[in-house]
Structure 1
Amino acid sequence: MGSGWWWRLITAALTGILCFHGVCQAQIAPNYTFVHQATSAAPVSYYDYIIVGGGTSGCPLAATLSQNARVLLIERGGSPYGNQNITNLGSFSATLADTSPSSPSQRFISEDGVFNARARVLGGGSCLNAGFYTRAGTDYVKAAGWDGALVNQSYQWVEKVVAFEPPMLQWQSAFRNGLLEAGILPYNGFTYDHIYGTKVGGTIFDRDGHRHTAADLLKYANPKGLTVLLHATAQSILFRTEGKLRPRAHGVLFKDAAGVEHRAYLSKGSMNEIVLSAGALGSPQLLMLSGVGPAQHLRSHNIKVIFDQPLVGQGMADNPMNAVFTPSPIPVEISLIQVVGITRLGTYIEAASGSNFGSPPSATPRDFGMFSPQTGQFSVVPPKQRTPEAIAKATEAMKALSNEAFRGGFIIEKIIGPLSSGHLQLRNTNPEDNPSVTFNYFQKPEDLQRCVDGITVIEKVIQSKAFSKFRYPYLSLQALLNMTLNFPVNLLPKHGNGSTSLEQFCKDTVMTIWHYHGGCQLDRVVDRNYKVFGVDGLRVIDGSTFHDSPGTNPQATVMMLGRYMGVKILNERLGRKRSN
């Protein structure tokens, strides 16, 4: 190792950074004494609360409940700590491009043909996303029936650990000023609040470009009250169904990385519960695998019906995203989402820039951009034609492009809602496999019109004086959308005379912004306390309960919800104990 290796070890002990041969790696994990591999778990164990899914809602929920109860949190993925692709802003898209079985990102393709990703890591989607942090609007809070004071306290609890004000460099500043020129007013400065106009939002990347995730919220946990098991894949919820009583959830069957089965049961006590926080795909999928869902569909998979609930898996929605790549004549900084234009047209306008969004194929795989064939986010062909062969062809085409072709950024629009929705069904009974999901992008004409309105705002931003130094003066929006020049993203299928209407552009280039939700919706599958209708001892607390995606980006609200419901559940528990 050389004569200085011992000094590097001493330094590592003091700083938490380990360096060998000039390569440094962040410490493997915080001092979480309660985190273990599932292979070390007992065959049978007992807890007051069992939470399935250590993601964006599951981590804050577990940390909160552990203050006054014995909690088990099981996560099918591994730890985010030590994974530089997760930690570093500049390489964030590498995880999305990783399709290996051990990747923290599990790719799935909707029946609409749009490539998407679901998290498979402690911290959930907060380990994979572009980092934007913003709260839900006040109308959203009222519609959900939440207590406003507790919502604010819960957001603040989250923000102390994971939220930061981003540095505003040249490209993002030009985009912000371009939004103002385009009439997206007023300017609201830096704020977490969801209000009409243009604002600088928060980010979960700190000033050093290091990501902070929902897993960091476990620092709030009571180590004596929490057990976290990694690589623990839930197979089914276990119910008691004696006599004529309502089915009661009383345990979870899960497998460890070696395929060995374990059973975790609720200890005695009427307040003890199981909570699903497995996400918009995982929670409805696990309900169905456990016998709670549409009876006919469950029987077709030879699943015993515990409770016939036809609304499980319904209301699946994904906010369609459309992006316009804007090549720049000058270098741009690497930036993820920092600024948003909240319009009154039913659309949000955001932007990102730099080599992590448009790296040339000569770069290392971790440098490939978010909008690229490697991540499945590309618009060379319409959604249902995005086959593996098409991806390979697009990848080869990118290799012929010069570095200058990848210099620039993206201005994107995401529609509010959306109004269009679909459904989720099981493909098989293997919980490791993705279910079948249909989002029905632009099924409602209002959604398509919102997309057109959003692209129109993007055109105004690109043509603004504020954005002029990042724009080739000879490139109009129509030239960008019907690109015949050598730029990597706006390579569209041609229709008729070779031009593309904005409506057709929206349909052909639709991608996901990973804000999918639904499947266990509030007032349909769960009540206002997030308890599952028709059974006892079971709640769902995550984005699957949403009817609409909160704010411009949902992660802040999903983390808030975990804390919020944890406090409410503990208050119920303490109140019940006092009354007894």
Structure 2
Amino acid sequence: MAADDLHFTRTLSTVLATSFFFVLLCSSLQVRGVNYTFMKDAALAPSVSYYDYIIVGGGTAGCPLAATLSERFRVLLLERGGSPYDDERIGDMARFADTLSDTSPGSPAQRFVSEDGVINSRPRVLGGGSCINAGFYTRASDDYVRDAGWDLEATGAAYRWVEDVVAFQPELGPWQAALQSGLIEAGVAPDNGFTFDHLDGTKVGGSIFDADGRRHTAADLLRYARAEGLDVLLRARVAKILFINVRGRRPVARGVVFHDSEGRMHKAYLNAGRRNEIILSAGAMGSPQLLMLSGVGSADHLSSFGIRIVHDQPAVGQGMSDNPMNAIYVPSPSPVEISLIQVVGITQVGSYIEGASGSNWGVRPSASGGVHRPRNFGMFSPQTGQLATVPPKQRTPEAIARAAESMRQLDDSAFRGGFILEKVLGPLSTGHLELRNRDPDDNPSVTFNYFSHPEDIRRCVAGLSVIESVIHSKAFENFTYSYFSMETLLNMSTGFPVNLLPRHDSDSTSLEMFCKDTVMTIWHYHGGCQVGRVVDAEYRVLGVDALRVIDGSTFNASPGTNPQATVMMLGRYMGVRIQNERLKAEGVEGTEL
């Protein structure tokens, strides 16, 4: 065969294989009820491409932002993970813990451990944290919106845009209904019923799980996109942002370098035009990390890794916070439903009270062909990293394995009950994020300094007192044993200690020590690219041009009792602002919120 013929044959084979793969991908999405013709694997992307906007991170902010900007412009959305529609666990509320506990490479949840010793997770999937969280949906308070400098009417419209697709009213089971009544009886009033709004007192919040227990995520918001205006690339691992750096002028973001799952390098550039931008929406871990890897950060820190300095900005990675959570397991004499977060008590003591009930487990095939029974308490399980049975620094893989094995030995009755938790609002304790290496896939080092501020300890103890009142309320009497005091619950052991009380110098531990020893995360970490320190009020990165950060890394405090609604809203809100600002400058009518 002639060389030209051989070359033609190979080229034709590659084209056919690529086309076949793309058809299969589109067909797979259609089977799952989604027809995103603009979504494909990064391996199919050209080596060089050009767009008006390049968004790094297809998470809770990135998806609504991309959908909005695609209405008028050419947008590239780069997501390092895969599709949520290809993983059945993501859509099933009963398998919430399965998704979160998967630590395999490429899983939707990437586990990390803070320097404090608390086990945590960051999303690695299109849709971001909305694919791996417990589903609670609530808006930020009006005061939070005003303090953030957002327009109250426009944020309301952006929230509704999100809610039309992903938010639902949950139907309470008996345990959650008892928790609601118990909170009111404990003085967390008034009873606000069902509402998306953040209101002092007790309320039933929204959920991104529908009546059938199916999860709806930020990826679903891409249905708003203009297909011709958007390309979504999956498994696209962004290595760094490219800058034009002319002496005497501010650095200008020009493009990004990313790698596909086969290791091939690609470059995406902004089209010519001074209003085109790159937007980081990679989250509180990913956005500050990518800024640093791209040369924007503390000069001393970046130089230690041999990174060329684009802009010396020591505030990148600072102000990291994670709302500490402490939970108490309350065994029940009566059956309970499986539930995630549905009810919240917004207290006056500086903490939020919530709960989850029942266990997620069942008989499943094992690798050897037999069956095994993976036993866990859903979001409060060693498998998910929520191991409050030992102090943070002792939560090793071996400790997790021992706790999981102990759970498998328990009688079924031990799993009948629920957890009531308190989450400290704020918090006032803050930390920082640093690079470990130059690998964008690796987790950076992050320290949250839980309970380093005495006010956070006070709020935790006050929250535990509210939980005690709920447990002893008449409304909750069918779901607790009357002879279980708070002290008994804190020291309880059923085969393995469900509630922790590690021994210190005395036979009893103070509530302050309980807060420190049993601290867990509820995955609401934020900071690292805060407004006023790293970005301005319009989320433009200070000191450089054509670069913004729009995600939870910009927050000085976590909004509401769960941030996901506000992060999705922010993607829509800022997308419309950016679009309208540009169209106004060009003399074109914009989009109304």
- CA displacement 1:38-84 (0-9 Å, x = unmatched): 00000000000000000000000000000000000000000001322
C-alpha distance in 1 between matches for 2:447 and 2:359 = 32
Q: Is the partner of 1:254 in helix, strand or coil?
A: strand
Q: Is the partner of 1:466 in helix, strand or coil?
A: helix
Q: 8 Å contact 1:187–1:197 — kept in the other structure?
A: yes
**1:564 equivalenced with 2:568 (yes/no):** no
C-alpha distance in 1 between matches for 2:404 and 2:272 = 57
C-alpha distance in 1 between matches for 2:376 and 2:386 = 15
Q: Comparing 292-301 with 375-384, which one deviates more in the overlay? A: 375-384
Pick from 303, 322, 339 the counterpart of residue 326 of structure 2: 322
Pick from 27, 41, 48 the counterpart of residue 37 of structure 1: 41
Q: 8 Å contact 1:197–1:341 — kept in the other structure?
A: yes
CA distance 1:156–1:574, shift in 2 (3 Å): same
Q: Is the partner of 2:269 in helix, strand or coil?
A: strand
Give the letter for the 1:94 counterpart.
Answer: D
The Cα shift of 1:331 comes to 1.2
Pick from 56, 60, 74 the counterpart of residue 60 of structure 2: 56
**1:450 equivalenced with 2:459 (yes/no):** yes
Residue in 2 aligned with 1:194? 198
Residue in 1 aligned with 2:132? 128
Structure 1 unpaired stretches of 5+: 1-15, 19-24
Give the letter for the 1:238 counterpart.
Answer: L
Residue in 2 aligned with 1:75? 79
Q: Comparing 250-259 with 373-382, which one deviates more in the overlay? A: 373-382
Q: 8 Å contact 2:110–2:123 — kept in the other structure?
A: yes
> What pairs with 1:229-240 in structure 2 (closer than 5 Å)?
229-240=233-244
Q: 8 Å contact 1:413–1:454 — kept in the other structure?
A: yes
Residue in 1 aligned with 2:346? 342
> What pairs with 1:153-172 in structure 2 (closer than 5 Å)?
153-172=157-176
C-alpha distance in 2 between matches for 1:138 and 1:363 = 49
CA distance 1:69–1:364, shift in 2 (3 Å): farther
> What pairs with 1:77-476 in structure 2 (closer than 5 Å)?
77-356=81-360, 364-365=373-374, 369-476=378-485
Q: 8 Å contact 2:414–2:494 — kept in the other structure?
A: no
C-alpha distance in 2 between matches for 1:538 and 1:547 = 20
Q: Comparing 358-367 with 499-508, which one deviates more in the overlay? A: 358-367
Pick from 557, 568, 587 the counterpart of residue 548 of structure 1: 557
Give the letter for the 1:304 counterpart.
Answer: R
- CA displacement 1:522-572 (0-9 Å, x = unmatched): 011000000000000000000000000000000000000000000000001
Q: 8 Å contact 2:318–2:529 — kept in the other structure?
A: yes
Q: Comparing 523-532 with 75-84, which one deviates more in the overlay? A: 75-84
Q: 8 Å contact 2:201–2:347 — kept in the other structure?
A: yes
The Cα shift of 1:364 comes to 4.1
Structure 2 unpaired stretches of 5+: 1-25
C-alpha distance in 2 between matches for 1:298 and 1:539 = 20
C-alpha distance in 2 between matches for 1:423 and 1:66 = 34
Aligned residues: 559
Q: Is the partner of 1:335 in helix, strand or coil?
A: coil
C-alpha distance in 2 between matches for 1:372 and 1:164 = 26
Give the letter for the 1:416 counterpart.
Answer: L
Q: 8 Å contact 1:406–1:488 — kept in the other structure?
A: no
Q: 8 Å contact 2:242–2:257 — kept in the other structure?
A: yes
C-alpha distance in 2 between matches for 1:197 and 1:358 = 36
Pick from 513, 525, 531 the counterpart of residue 516 of structure 1: 525
C-alpha distance in 2 between matches for 1:331 and 1:359 = 19
Give the letter for the 1:41 counterpart.
Answer: A
Give the letter for the 1:282 counterpart.
Answer: G
Residue in 2 aligned with 1:507? 516
Q: 8 Å contact 1:379–1:508 — kept in the other structure?
A: yes
Residue in 2 aligned with 1:10? none
The Cα shift of 1:573 comes to 1.1
CA distance 1:330–1:187, shift in 2 (3 Å): same
CA distance 1:134–1:174, shift in 2 (3 Å): same
Give the letter for the 2:587 counterpart.
Answer: R
The Cα shift of 1:485 comes to 3.9
Residue in 2 aligned with 1:4? none
**1:537 equivalenced with 2:546 (yes/no):** yes
Q: 8 Å contact 2:134–2:379 — kept in the other structure?
A: no
Give the letter for the 1:452 counterpart.
Answer: V
Residue in 2 aligned with 1:21? none
CA distance 1:514–1:464, shift in 2 (3 Å): same
Q: Is the partner of 2:360 in helix, strand or coil?
A: helix
C-alpha distance in 1 between matches for 2:196 and 2:243 = 41
C-alpha distance in 2 between matches for 1:240 and 1:486 = 62
Q: Is the partner of 1:355 in helix, strand or coil?
A: coil
Q: Comparing 239-248 with 149-158, which one deviates more in the overlay? A: 239-248
The Cα shift of 1:369 comes to 2.6
Q: 8 Å contact 2:127–2:217 — kept in the other structure?
A: yes
C-alpha distance in 1 between matches for 2:474 and 2:361 = 24
Q: Is the partner of 1:210 in helix, strand or coil?
A: coil
- Normalised by the length of structure 2, the TM-score is 0.92
CA distance 1:299–1:478, shift in 2 (3 Å): same
Q: Is the partner of 1:467 in helix, strand or coil?
A: helix
The Cα shift of 1:379 comes to 1.4
CA distance 1:417–1:357, shift in 2 (3 Å): farther
CA distance 1:29–1:114, shift in 2 (3 Å): farther
Residue in 2 aligned with 1:525? 534
Q: 8 Å contact 1:372–1:489 — kept in the other structure?
A: no
The Cα shift of 1:472 comes to 1.4
Q: 8 Å contact 1:317–1:439 — kept in the other structure?
A: yes
Q: 8 Å contact 2:119–2:385 — kept in the other structure?
A: yes
C-alpha distance in 2 between matches for 1:242 and 1:378 = 51
C-alpha distance in 1 between matches for 2:362 and 2:343 = 19
Give the letter for the 1:548 counterpart.
Answer: A
CA distance 1:26–1:227, shift in 2 (3 Å): closer
C-alpha distance in 2 between matches for 1:28 and 1:282 = 29
Give the letter for the 2:472 counterpart.
Answer: Q
Q: Is the partner of 1:55 in helix, strand or coil?
A: coil
Q: Comparing 498-507 with 185-194, which one deviates more in the overlay? A: 498-507
The Cα shift of 1:309 comes to 0.2
The Cα shift of 1:496 comes to 3.2
- CA displacement 1:139-195 (0-9 Å, x = unmatched): 111111001111000000000000000001101000000001100000011111111
C-alpha distance in 2 between matches for 1:306 and 1:357 = 51
Give the letter for the 1:333 counterpart.
Answer: E
C-alpha distance in 1 between matches for 2:30 and 2:149 = 41
Q: Comparing 414-423 with 358-367, which one deviates more in the overlay? A: 358-367
Q: 8 Å contact 2:403–2:496 — kept in the other structure?
A: no
